[in-house]
């Protein structure tokens, strides 16, 4: 009878997996499949476009903030500059209108002086009467009105009365003299004095119109103008129509 020999234990066990038996070319972990070159290019372009859009938005936002600040500064500067220009323009116009009145008064007094001198040298009328008129001329010509003094109605009335009476008396004396018709210089001076004197009311109305506009401007923009610190007086101006009681 045949006997079967037992199989050795090491041969009866299945051969186990030996990690060391994995070849070098075998990868333990799976990797992502390589994309097609065209798809890879599209992906790169998409990322670049996204970055470009984000960068552009950042620039636009920065420019918007900067523009807002510049616009605010520009608006403030323009407003202050406009107020200053308008204020100075009104002051210049008012001063010009006032100087026109002063110039006309100066011309009128000079013409009165020339007429008196002509009548004295030619022996027209009584010399004492002419000398008295000359003294009155000296007094009224040295009594000049100012933009501030016209706030006193009594002062303006006295000035107007002294000037008007002097003009009326002197021109009447010249026109009543027998040599008036034959003396062209005498006629010229009388006509010149009368014409200049007739401009007084229109000159004052013109000045009042500008002064009223200036006063309205100060009332409306007083606080803003004060903030400009221009270093010039900012007070409302008196008017002839108020001073004269019109």
Write the DSSP assignment of 3-54 as a string of letters.
-PPPPPHHHHSPPPP-GGGS-TT--SS--PPPPPHHHHHHHHHHHHHHHHHH
Average pLDDT rounded to a whole number, residues 108-115: 96
Q: Could you read off the pLDDT of 156-168 as tens digits, one per residue?
A: 999 999 999 999 9
Q: Could you read off the pLDDT of 118-140 as tens digits, one per residue?
A: 999 888 778 899 999 999 999 99
Cα separation, 90 vs 217, in Å, equals 9
Those residues with Cβ within 8 angstroms of residue 151's Cβ, 6 or more apart along the chain or in another chain: 238, 242, 243
Cα separation, 138 vs 130, in Å, equals 12
| pTM of the complete model | 0.65
Q: Where is mean pLDDT largest: 13-22, 50-59, 218-227?
A: 218-227
């Amino acid at each position: 009878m045949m006997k079967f020999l037992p199989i050795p234990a090491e041969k009866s066990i299945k051969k186990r997996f030996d990690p060391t038996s994995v070849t070098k070319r075998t990868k333990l972990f799976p990797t992502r499949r390589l994309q097609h070159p065209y798809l890879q290019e599209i992906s790169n372009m998409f990322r670049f476009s996204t970055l470009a859009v984000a960068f552009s938005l950042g620039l636009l936002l920065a420019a918007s903030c900067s523009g807002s600040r510049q616009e605010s500064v520009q608006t403030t500067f323009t407003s202050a500059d406009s107020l200053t220009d308008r204020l100075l323009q009104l002051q210049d116009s008012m001063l010009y209108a006032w100087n026109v009145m002063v110039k006309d008064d100066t011309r009128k007094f000079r013409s009165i002086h020339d007429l008196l001198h002509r009548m004295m040298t030619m022996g027209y009328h009584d010399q004492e009467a002419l000398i008295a008129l000359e003294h009155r001329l000296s007094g009224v010509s040295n009594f000049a009105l100012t933009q501030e003094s016209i706030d006193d109605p009594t002062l303006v009335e006295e000035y107007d009365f002294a000037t008007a009476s002097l003009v009326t008396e002197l021109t009447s004396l010249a026109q009543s003299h027998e040599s008036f018709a034959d003396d062209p210089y005498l006629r010229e001076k009388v006509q010149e004095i009368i014409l200049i004197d007739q401009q007084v009311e229109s000159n004052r109305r013109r000045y009042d119109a500008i002064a009223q506009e200036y006063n309205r401007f100060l009332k409306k923009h007083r606080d803003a103008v004060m903030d400009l610190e221009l270093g010039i007086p900012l007070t409302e101006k008196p008017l002839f129509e108020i001073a004269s009681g019109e």
